[in-house]
Structure 1
Amino acid sequence: MKHQMRGVSAVSLTDVLAVVDGVSKPGADLSAELFAAVAAIDGAPALRRILTDPSTDAAAKQGLVSSVFGAKLGAASISILQAAVAGRWNSPRDLTDGLETAGVSAVVAAADAAGDLDALETEVFEIGRLVSSDAELRGVISDRGVSADAKRSLLTNLLDGKVSDSALALAVQAAVARRGSFERTLSDFGDTAAARRGRLLAEVRVAYTLDDDEKSRLTSALGAKYGHDVHLNIIVDPSVVGGISVSVGDEVADGTMSTRLETARRQLAG
C-alpha cells in the first residue's frame, strides 16, 4: 500500500519538494545524487537519528549535511538535503522516504519541462509489466540477497536504449525496494508522475487495440467519474471476451464478458 506522510512529515515534505521545484535543472543527475544520499543515510542509522533529532538545532544539522556530503554532492542536492533536515519528521525513516520522493520528483519535473511526462508515465508502466511477466527476471529483482548494484546493472543492460534515461532512473531506484516490492514502488513512482498534473492512472484491459476516438471517449468518461484528468495505461489481453476492465488505484471495475461468465459458472456450481 502506498505510504502517505502525515502531520509534520507531510509539511516537511512539501517544503522539500518546493526546493526541488526551484532548482533550475532538475533531472537524472540531481535524482542520482539524492538517491545516493538516501542510500548513505539509510546505511548510517546513527547519522539519520541525528539529522532527525528535534532537539538538535537546525543550523547544526545543516552544517553536518555540508560536512558529510559537501564534497560528494552538487549545490542543488545540498540545498534539498538542508531543507529536509531543517524540517521535522514523524520518524527517522520519513526523512529518507522524503528524500527519495524528492529524487523521483526531480526526474518527473525534468520530464514535464521537456514535454515528456506522458511518455514517462507509459514507460514506467511498461517496465513494471515487463518485470512482472518474466518469472526469472522478477525473481532476481525481488531477491533481497542480490545487491542493488547487481540489480542496477541488470536493468541497465536490459533497458538502456529502449526507454528514456528518466524511466531507467526510476526503475533502478524502484529495484532498491525501500518501501515495498519493485512493482509496488514503481507503481508509486508512476503515481508521483501523474500527480504532477493532478491526474490519476487507469489500467485498462481490453481484447483489442483501442483507436484514438475510443481512447478519448474512455478518458473523458473516467475523468467525469473521478473528477480528475486520467492517463490510460492500456493492456491488450486476448483473454478478455468483450467489455473492459479498468483499475484506478485500489478500485477495479470489471465489465468483461469473461469475468461475467466465470461469475455465472461459480453461481451455478453453488
Structure 2
Amino acid sequence: MNGASREALAAARERLDALMDGTSVDAGAIAEQLASVTALLDREVSLRRVLTDPAQSGEAKAELATRLLSGQVGGETVDLIAGMVRSRWSQSRDLADAVEELAATAELAAAQRAGTLDSVEDELFRFGRIVVSSPDLRAALTDRTARGSAKAELLGRLLGGRANPVTERLVVRLVTQPRGRSLEAGLESLSKLAAARRDRMVAVVTSAVPLSDRQKERLGAALATLYGRQMHLNLDVDPEVLGGIQVRIGDEVINGTIADRLDEATRRMAG
C-alpha cells in the first residue's frame, strides 16, 4: 500500500489494538466478522468503490457502512469499519486488503492472549513446509475448480485436533479465500503478522542437521544484534545444504552453507 492507504491502515491497526486490549472482547468472533466483510467487499466491487470514493464525505461513507452492517456483524466490528471508511484510500481494493489483515491480526491477538502465539507461528511455518514437500496436497488446496467446503474439509482432517484452532482458522480462510495470492505468499504474510505481534522479525533458517538449543540461542542473539530487533526463528532441515546454515530474512539471504561455497567455487573455476 502507498500514501493515503498506508496511513489509513496504520490508524485502523491502532483502533484494533485498542479494542483487543479489552478482556471482554471476543477476538475470534471479531476476526470472523471482519473476514465476512472482506468477502463482501471482494464480491461487491461497486460498494467498495463507493466506500472509498474521495468525492464523498467520510461521515456519509461511515453512515452507509453502519446501515449496511448493523445487525449483520457486532457493534465493535461496525465501528471498526466505519472508522476505516472515514479515512482516505489510494485504491478501493486497499480497503478490502486492510480489513483482511485486521481479521488475521484479531486471530493472532486471541492466540497471544491465550499464550499460544509462538505455537501458531511455528505451525504456520510447518504447514508451509508440508505444502512445499507435497505437490499433490498443494494442488488440491489451490485447485480453482474445487469447492471451498471441500478444501475446508480436507484441512479439517489434516489439522483438526493437531494444530491450534487459531492456526486452523487462519489456514482455512487463506485456502478458501486466497484473493489472488499464492498459498506460499499467504502463509508468509501470516507469519510476518504473527511476528509483528511481538515486534519481531522472522528469520527462516535452513541447516543440514537440527540446531541445538544453544546454537538457536546464539544465532537468535546474533541476528537480533545485527538487525536491531528480536527474531523469531523458523527452522528447517535440508540435507542438501551439506553443512553450515542459510538464513532468509524477507528478501535478504545470508548463505553460510558448504553447498553454497561449492557452487561459488564451481562458478569461479568455470570463469
TM over 0.5: yes
Kindly provide the CA deviation profile for residues 130-175 of structure 1, in whole angstroms up to 9, marking residues without a partner as x.
1121101111222333343332332222211111111112212222
SS in 2 for 1:255: strand
Kindly provide the CA deviation profile for residues 196-252 of structure 1, in whole angstroms up to 9, marking residues without a partner as x.
222110111112222211110000111111111101010122222121111111111
- What does residue 251 of structure 2 align with? 250
Cα distance in 2 for partners of 1:20, 1:84 equals 11
- What does residue 17 of structure 1 align with? 13
SS in 2 for 1:161: coil
SS in 1 for 2:244: coil
> How many angstroms does 1:39 deviate by?
0.5
| Aligned residue pairs, count | 266
Cα distance in 2 for partners of 1:33, 1:152 equals 18
Structure possessing the higher relative contact order (Cα contacts under 8 Å, 6 or more residues apart): 1
Cα distance in 2 for partners of 1:179, 1:226 equals 32
Counterpart selection for 2:3 from 7, 20, 33: 7
Cα distance in 2 for partners of 1:234, 1:177 equals 25
> How many angstroms does 1:269 deviate by?
4.3
- What does residue 133 of structure 1 align with? 133
- What does residue 145 of structure 2 align with? 145
How has the CA–CA distance of structure 1 residues 54 and 189 changed in structure 2, closer, same or farther, with 3 Å as cutoff? same
How has the CA–CA distance of structure 1 residues 132 and 262 changed in structure 2, closer, same or farther, with 3 Å as cutoff? same
- What does residue 89 of structure 1 align with? 89
SS in 2 for 1:244: strand
Give 1:80's aligned amino acid: L
Runs of 4+ in 1 over 4 A off after TM superposition: none
Kindly provide the CA deviation profile for residues 78-115 of structure 1, in whole angstroms up to 9, marking residues without a partner as x.
11111111111001100000101111111122222222
Q: How do residues 99-118 of structure 1 correspond to structure 2 at under 5 angstroms? A: 99-118=99-118
- What does residue 211 of structure 2 align with? 210
Kindly provide the CA deviation profile for residues 48-84 of structure 1, in whole angstroms up to 9, marking residues without a partner as x.
1111112223233222223222222111211111111
- What does residue 163 of structure 1 align with? 163
Cα distance in 1 for partners of 2:214, 2:107 equals 31
> How many angstroms does 1:190 deviate by?
0.9
Cα distance in 2 for partners of 1:269, 1:26 equals 61
Identical pairs, percent: 38
- What does residue 80 of structure 1 align with? 80
Please say if 1:234 is aligned against 2:230: no
Contact 1:20-1:26 within 8 A present in 2 as well: no
Cα distance in 2 for partners of 1:251, 1:147 equals 37
Give 1:224's aligned amino acid: T
Contact 1:177-1:185 within 8 A present in 2 as well: yes
Cα distance in 2 for partners of 1:77, 1:152 equals 25
Which piece of structure 1 moves more, 168-177 or 46-55? 168-177
TM-score, length of structure 2 as denominator length = 0.92
Q: Which runs of 5+ in 2 are unaligned?
A: none
Q: Which runs of 5+ in 1 are unaligned?
A: none
Note the aligned Cα RMSD (angstroms).
1.7
Kindly provide the CA deviation profile for residues 169-194 of structure 1, in whole angstroms up to 9, marking residues without a partner as x.
22122222225211101101110111
SS in 1 for 2:186: helix
